[in-house]
Structure 1
Amino acid sequence: MSGITVILTVIVGFTVTAILGTVMIPFLRKLKYGQTIREDGPTWHKQKQGTPTMGGMMFIVGTVVAAVVGFSYLVFVQKSVLLETKGIVRLLAGLIMALLFGMIGFFDDYIKVVKKQNLGLKAKQKLMLQILVTVFYLTILYAFGDRSTIVNLPFLGQWQFGVLYYPIMGILIIGIVNSVNLTDGIDGLAGCVTFIVAVFFMAATAVLKLSAINVLASALAASLLGFLIYNIHPAKVFMGDTGSLFLGGMVVALAFGVNMPFILFFVGFMYCVESLSVILQVISFQTTGKRIFRMSPIHHHFEMGGMSESKIVTMFCLITIVMSVLSYFAIINM
């Protein structure tokens, strides 16, 4: 993949998202599409009540437009991408999957802002929709010839999963998507962490010469950078479930694009920590009546301990950078 393609994709993704922010944020504020803050959340989050949400639509549009422009350049100018049949299928299927997850988030956000409730879709409804999207994604890959059940495991080489491949991948997809969703709890956290993850996949796909997936990673990274202009503390807009579920779908698509879905346990380490903190908190409280953390997900634990949002984001990002470097070595040595 040429540097021109990367530059073009990045410029388009950043510019489209940044410009959309100047239009969409006032529009959302005018519609009074403001976030309803959780009653059981940190008390100081109440001051964020009314901040426009559903801002994830900004980087969703930016990512799609940038991906289309970058991919079109590869097809009509470089033409070499036409040889990457699997890459093209994984790019298109992954982008569609992410958009469908984003749509689930949109429905969830819409219920919250219209009914002024912070619960949105019921847990069972959300899970059922996520299962349908996951089955759709895996079916598309299978239907278009991506039928290998051999997966590259970080530092362990190739493993044959056989009949267990699809149920394991289904659980992985839904788990990661919801983990990214949990990470979106304070200003800039999910956006910053996922930006680093996207940059990692830009580097990984460049090394592996996967042009189509590189376009997708570049589009996501650039669009998130444009969004973070408005989302870093103090946030002028929240991404909402619209954005966080889309991001979950995107990181899954990128991991499948390099045929290393389990790399998400490394590069997406902080996503997993967030989910684990919730699981441990629930188990502990239901079995002993005691809480392990001051509040879960774990970023709220640090908040309740007096750490500022900016410091929490910085800490999570630094850990993600370290894990991304580790993941990069796993990629180049596979």
Structure 2
Amino acid sequence: MLYFFICFVASIILTPFIKKLAIKWNVTDKPNDRKVHSKAMPYLGGLAIYISFILGLILSHEDSPYLWPIIIGSGIIIITGILDDIYDLAPRYKFIGQLLAAVVALVGGFDLEFINLPFGGQMEFGYLSIPLTILWIVGITNAINFIDGLDGLAAGVSSIALVTLSIMSLIQGDFFVLTIALVLLGSTLGFLPYNFYPAKIFMGDSGALFLGYMIAVLSLLGFKNITFLSFVIPIIILGVPISDTFFAMMRRFMQKKPLSSADKLHLHHRLLSSGFSHRQTVLVIYGIAIMFSLAAIIFSMATIWGSLLIIALLLLLIELFAELIGLAGKDYKPILKFMRPRAQNSRYDDRL
């Protein structure tokens, strides 16, 4: 817990400094006809999270073969995010950076080799472990980036996921994952007061990609080579960003649009258009994320049949989630009679 508080305080101190640097270097999200904020907002908030995180790693003196892959991989991803914040990289260049970071993690031992089946036996992935691992890391990295559409949303949802990962690693006695998760949690929570509505600084892609990458590798490390049902735990923990990302990809595929195109059918857009305020929308999604996290903790302690029941209930929840964000119907009109989206509720542009 000491390193948690150190990172928390470091992030609180560093964030205003990074904000001044972003303004001085003109690394800002400038208003235009597609964006709704009326003044330039500084980016690079993710750099404050990253520096605080690295400080925590240094002070913790962790000794693990997984430490250097985490440092190198997160370094690649933070550089990719910073370059995107400054130069607005094309999607293919961001993907290359994410792929390189994922390969570093894979080579460093963050791979899914096999899982134990609930009724006996093992499922060996063999060479499939390589694409599965890369798909998981790149997918979760982008999932956190996709939900970074409102003030404090990505930082808050990531914090909830990190709290859950910390609890789960404590239960399993995995103190390396516990330490890394707490260090990252402290760094993120220290940034959140500056990012919550009304935000004073945006985390940018540097923050969203970094948080997504770290949550992906920590969840993979904490639940690798385990039972099939336990493998579902990290998916449940990240239920909000995974579901939102999945439905966004389905929408764009069915509409024959590029996967990197933007729309206003994400969960936070739907809540805003239904009349919720900016702050209320973020808090509602926090509540949904907490519900998924509690389900994951209960899931980990349930019997096989109890776990299957929880999965069934979560599938029902995801179905309601799909209707809420308006996936049903080929014209993608939402099931609920939402009002027209109110642009003044959002300080962000239409992100992925």
User: Common fold, TM-score beyond 0.5?
Assistant: yes
Q: How far apart are 1:202 and its partner, in Å?
A: 1.1
- Amino acid of the structure 1 residue aligned with 2:192: L
Give the one of 8, 11, 18 matched to 1:14. 8
- In the alignment, what sits opposite 1:3? none
Which of 177, 192, 195 is the aligned partner of 1:231?
A: 195
Aligned 8 A contact 2:137 2:217 in 1: no
Q: Is this contact kept in 1: 2:76–2:100, CA < 8 A?
A: no
Q: What pairs with 1:291-330 in structure 2 (closer than 5 Å)?
A: 295-330=264-299
Residue 153 and residue 224 in structure 1: after superposition, are their counterparts in 2 closer, same or farther (change >3 A)?
Answer: farther
Counterparts in 2 of 1:194-209, with a 5 A limit?
A: 194-209=158-173
CA distance in 1, matches of 2:4, 2:163: 11
Residue 167 in structure 1 maps to residue 135 in structure 2: no
Q: Which amino acid aligns with 1:256?
A: L
Deviations 1:252-290 (A, max 9, x none): 121122124653321111111221232133134339xxx
Q: Does 1:185 align with 2:161?
A: no
Q: What is residue 344 of structure 2 aligned with on the other side? A: none
- Structure ranking higher on relative contact order (CA contacts 8 Å, 6+ apart): 1
Distance between the aligned counterparts of 2:302 and 2:68, measured in 1?
A: 27
Taking only aligned residues, the RMSD between alpha carbons, in angstroms, comes to 2.7
- Residue 155 of structure 1: CA displacement? 11
Q: Distance in 2 between matches of 1:28 and 1:225?
A: 20
Structure-2 separation of matches of 1:169 and 1:137: 9
Query: Do 1:154 and 1:327's aligned partners in 2 also have CA atoms closer than 8 Å?
Result: no
Q: Which residue, 89, 101, 123 being the options, matches 2:65?
A: 89
Relative to 1, partners in 2 of residues 1:32 and 1:268: Cα closer, same or farther, differing over 3 Å? Answer: same
**Structure 2 counterpart of 1:137:** 105
Which residue of the partner structure matches residue 332 of structure 2? none
AA aligned opposite 2:158: T
Check if 1:277 corresponds to 2:253.
Answer: no
Structure 1 stretches of 4+ moved >6 Å: 152-158
- How far 1:238 moved relative to its partner? 0.3
Unaligned residue ranges in structure 2 (runs of 5+): 225-230, 304-352
Q: Name the stretch that deviates more: 224-233 or 99-108.
A: 99-108
The Cα shift of 1:156 comes to: 10
Amino acid at match of 1:285: Q
TM-superposition CA deviations, 1:292-325 (whole Å, max 9, x none): x971333223223332221111111111111111
Q: Higher helix share goes to which structure?
A: 1
Mean CA deviation greater in 54-63 or 262-271: 262-271
Taking a change above 3 Å as real, the CA distance of residues 178 and 194 of structure 1, as seen in their structure-2 partners, is same
Distance (whole Å) between structure 2 residues aligned to residue 321 and residue 155 of structure 1: 30
Q: State the Cα distance separating 1:332 from its structure 2 match.
A: 4.4
Cα offset, 1:246, TM superposition = 0.3
Contact 1:13 1:63 in 2 (8 A): yes
| TM-score in terms of structure 2 length | 0.76
1:219 aligns with 2:183: yes
> Paired residues, what number?
293
Deviation at 1:97?
A: 1.8
Unaligned runs of 5+ in 1: 1-5, 76-81, 83-87, 112-119, 288-292
Q: 1:50 aligns with which of 34, 40, 46?
A: 40
| Per-residue deviation, 1:125 | 1.8
Identity of aligned residues (%): 26
